[in-house]
Chain A
Amino acid sequence: MDSQTTVLKPKRNLWRDIKRHRSIYLLLLIPMAYFIIFKYIPIWKGQIAFKNFMPRKGVLGSEWVGLANFQEFFHSFYFWELLRNTIMYSVGKLLISVPLSIILAVSLYECRIKVLRKTVQTLTYLPHFLSWVIMYGILLVLLAPGDGLLNDAIKAFGGKGIDFLTNVKAFPWVVLLSDAWKEMGWGAIIFIAALMGIDPTLFEAAMVEGSSALQRVRYITLPSIRPVIIMVVLLRLGTILSGGFNQLYMLYSPSVYSVGDIIDTWVFRGLQEGKFALATAVGLFKGVMGLILVIVSNRATKRISGSSLY
């Protein structure tokens, strides 16, 4: 995490270092075998992205078709729109759900009423277990244009009901906020775990010096979980071209396709038509984009804050 401490170090003897860590390499044996078998062999078989995959011919026997599968994606009538929607949702969730998780975690950490703390922590954790099918039911109860509770309230105040779920302006907000509602508490767990590592004496010292509570949050609490925040953000950037398939597949409908269709839902509709090579090609494209983004942003955060993923 803190790489500055490693900058100044004596010239090391590589062989001696390797020997010193031999037990570590031993420990790594099984995980590495796992990675080769379960992760890299499939990636290698991902070459079907460049092939016209025929089951009987197998991965190696199928004929090469160059970039045809990629082109089918790039030349889709909706390519740019899909890209825009996907990024809109993953960036939107990064900007809404992650900060909310952090605020929740810090609030729980600072809260001095034990009952409140425990209740809210457990309660906010629950919605993660509601599948999107059920979430859709909840959203319908709240937002249905005819008899949704929110629309009833709007109408009671003399407003005009809004078709939240089928209106292209409202729909993205429904997606982003429902995700925040569902995942905020779940996302906070990691930050709560990080907060547990803070040295309590730091606070005592700060209090003796007469700092305010807000200052302590600003100068002690937040900085100490900064590495975790950066890591979470960077890892999410790596999957920026996945915008939350399960959610959108359940929430969207033809009238909001223009703002609800993302790369993964488009691919899924293709999968139903058996376009496996296309799905793999899109997966590779998403991977390359994610990798580039992670490398670039990792560089940037390393320079700015000294924290980095690796």
Chain B
Amino acid sequence: MKNRQIWLIALLIVAIAGPLFAQGVAEPTAATGPVDLELWYGAAITEAGPPPDDWVAYQIIRDKLNINLKITALPSNEADQDVKISAAAAADNLPDIFMVRRETWLRLINQGLVAETDDLYAKMPTRTKVQYDDDSIAFTTINGKSYGLASPGSIAKNEGVLIRKDWLDKLGLAVPKTTEEFMNVMKAFTFNDPDGNGKNDTYGYGAFIEINNYEEGLGRRMDPWFGAFGVAGTWNLTKANFGLNVRKSAYYDAMVFIKRMIDEGVIDPNWLSYKKDDFRAAWKQGRFGIMREQNAAYAATSNYAPFDKNFPNGEWVIVDPPKGPNGHASVGVYTKAFRIYAISDKADATKRDAIARLLEWMSSDEGYFLLGWGVEGTNYTLKDGIPVAEGVPDKDYAFTGPKGQPYTQLRNMVFYNGQVELVSRYPTYVTAVSKKTMSALDVLFDMQTRAWTANIGGDTLPPPSTDLKRFYEQGVAEFLTGRRVLNKANWEAWVAEFDKLGGKAWEDSARVVAETNGLLR
């Protein structure tokens, strides 16, 4: 009785299991029909879903361009992306066109899996004009040949040093300029109860470790301090003084200063444990008064709203980065960021033509607005030629709404940081509680006027070996946690060991690349 029931259930389950073997999307294999194209893209809003199957763009692409487009969103995090692409590459199973990080892409070229793209630029004149300038083509050129299409990525110099103006006013302090003045302000922020809540719960500076290959060591959130000593970023890309910043003596001075911040207790002690979201939650909770933050992460409507609600009288202002003893100052380094879309070398001439058709269409007015914002009247309305979310019949389906966002997942393939995009993405608005007028765009423009260190091409220099990378990151962190005692002798011994592990060789190989590609200025 009971046994029989169990067996019935088991049988049922097996019956369910059977059809699953056949699950999956059967790909139409039409001989003369539309060309099948497989695209792996980087989603614009990873946490929102992909565009639905009945997306109007699919239909247009099929009818107008004779392409059967199948798109797959890459995983949201870079490590996962690398693994997915590398695994597909190892099985020689790459899609026709895919977004890829530069390091991974370089390896695919060595393995002969990526096609040259020099001939494609001429086939898509409109797109080449708006998307692929000389820097972009140089970014994907290896040994004189272009192996991919690099679209503009995030906007350069879009971060800045921010300080709590209301705290300064409350304590009667002026905007600090030099590192020492900053130190005094940070001390006051930490110990003089700038928010007046009677609790000792504030700090001067807030940060977290955010490392890039061109922002090694402690990463970009600490770069203003290294910038004050003239050693922002991984590389110094000047003709006179090329090299790894960590091997320069000024780097030690910057380390001493940061160690002082820690010893004085003016930096949020959680900074080594924070991840990005924790850091962002922390400044919205009013934990610290100075930070380096990105323009939209600070000023865009939904990002600023919690801070606005929590601290209606709170106010951040953008200030110049701290000036060091020798007059250096820099928010950090900037590169021209690109997203590489590479083409599998298995794609035949028909497919390559189809790719050129598709990309050219994406940069046409029709493709640009459809992929960037969706359908006019449903997902956006035009106001003075700028797409805005206001005026759409269903707010959820606006390009900023939860149902509308899936339609804009491919927008990074069409955006090029033009005026229309910037105004549309960063509209001026009035905050809900304190009624401040905010604009992430004005913030951006202000941030771009501050002192920065040019590092164009810094992201194309060779990365360190796994062991060396770890030695570098671990070493600087340990000098700050006190596991290694920070003094001149220890530091020099550490740098010597770094060189022995391949640090010097790394610098030398980068020098060759930098010189051949004319990156030194």
Contact = CB atoms under 8 A, between A and B. Distances in A.
A107 interface: no
Contact of B477 (A55, A136, A255): A255
Contacts of A167: 481
Contact of A254 (B107, B474, B501): B474
B209 interface: yes
A77 interface: yes
A196 to B, nearest CB: 17
Contacts of B483: 168, 255, 258
Contacts of A266: 466
Interface in B425-476: 463, 466-467, 469-471, 473-474, 476
A285 interface: no
A166 B474 contact: no
Contact of B201 (A76, A147, A257): A147
A168 B480 CA distance: 13
Task: Give the bracket for the number of chain A residues in contact with chain B.
Answer: 35 or more
27 contacts: A55-B89, A55-B90, A55-B91, A55-B113, A77-B501, A78-B467, A136-B275, A137-B278, A145-B270, A146-B203, A146-B268, A161-B269, A163-B269, A163-B272, A253-B273, A254-B473, A254-B474, A254-B477, A255-B480, A257-B474, A258-B474, A269-B466, A270-B466, A271-B82, A272-B86, A273-B103, A273-B466
A42 interface: no
Interface string B232-269: 00000000000000000000000000000000000011
Nearest to B500: A77
Task: Give the bracket for the number of chain B residues in contact with chain A.
Answer: 35 or more
Contact of B270 (A144, A257, A271): A144
Given A253-B272, A272-B83, A77 B471 contact: yes
A53 interface: yes
Given A167-B481, A272-B86, 10 more contacts: A55-B113, A137-B278, A144-B269, A144-B273, A145-B273, A147-B270, A165-B272, A255-B478, A255-B483, A258-B483
Given A55-B111, A254-B473, A255-B474, A271 B272 contact: no
B198 interface: no
Contacts of A274: 82, 86, 89, 104, 107
B421 to A, nearest CB: 31
A76 B466 CA distance: 9
Interface string A157-198: 000010101111000000000000000000000000000000
Contacts of B501: 77
A54 interface: yes
Contacts of A268: 79
Interface string A121-151: 0000000000000001100100011110000
A261 interface: yes
Contacts of B203: 146
Contacts of B275: 136
Contacts of B180: none
A253 B91 contact: no
A56 interface: yes
The list of the 5 closest CB pairs from A to B, nearest first, reads A255-B477, A254-B477, A254-B473, A257-B474, A145-B269
A186 to B, nearest CB: 23
Interface string A223-256: 0000000000000000000000000000001110
A257 B473 contact: yes
Contact of A253 (B79, B113, B209, B269): B209
B18 interface: no
A264 to B, nearest CB: 13
Contacts of B471: 77
Residue of B92, B201, B272, B274 with most partner-chain A CB within 10 A:
B272
A272 B78 CA distance: 9
Which label, helix, strand, loop or mixed, suits the secondary structure of the B interface? helix
Interface string A94-122: 00000000000000000000000000000
Which label, helix, strand, loop or mixed, suits the secondary structure of the A interface? loop
A272 B82 contact: yes
A255 B469 CA distance: 13
Interface string B95-106: 000000001100
A201 to B, nearest CB: 24
Nearest to A54: B111
Contact of B272 (A78, A255, A269, A273): A255
A206 B113 CA distance: 72
A258 B481 CA distance: 13
Interface string A273-292: 11010000000000000000
A274 B478 CA distance: 29
A56 B92 contact: yes
A77 B103 contact: no
Nearest to B475: A254
B112 interface: yes
Nearest to A78: B467
Interface in B250-305: 268-270, 272-275, 278, 287
B168 to A, nearest CB: 22
Contacts of B473: 254, 257
B175 to A, nearest CB: 26
Residue of A56, A254, A258 with most partner-chain B CB within 10 A:
A254
Contacts of B477: 166, 253-255, 257
A255 B209 CA distance: 11
B86 A276 contact: yes
A257 B113 CA distance: 35
B90 A146 contact: no
B464 to A, nearest CB: 10
B408 to A, nearest CB: 26
Contacts of A56: 92, 111-113
Contact of B79 (A166, A254, A258, A272): A272
A141 to B, nearest CB: 10
Contacts of B474: 254-255, 257-258
Contacts of A76: 466-467
Given A147-B270, A253-B273, A266-B466, A271 B481 contact: no
A271 B87 CA distance: 9
Nearest to A251: B273
B268 to A, nearest CB: 6
Given A78-B470, A146-B268, A257-B473, A271 B83 contact: yes
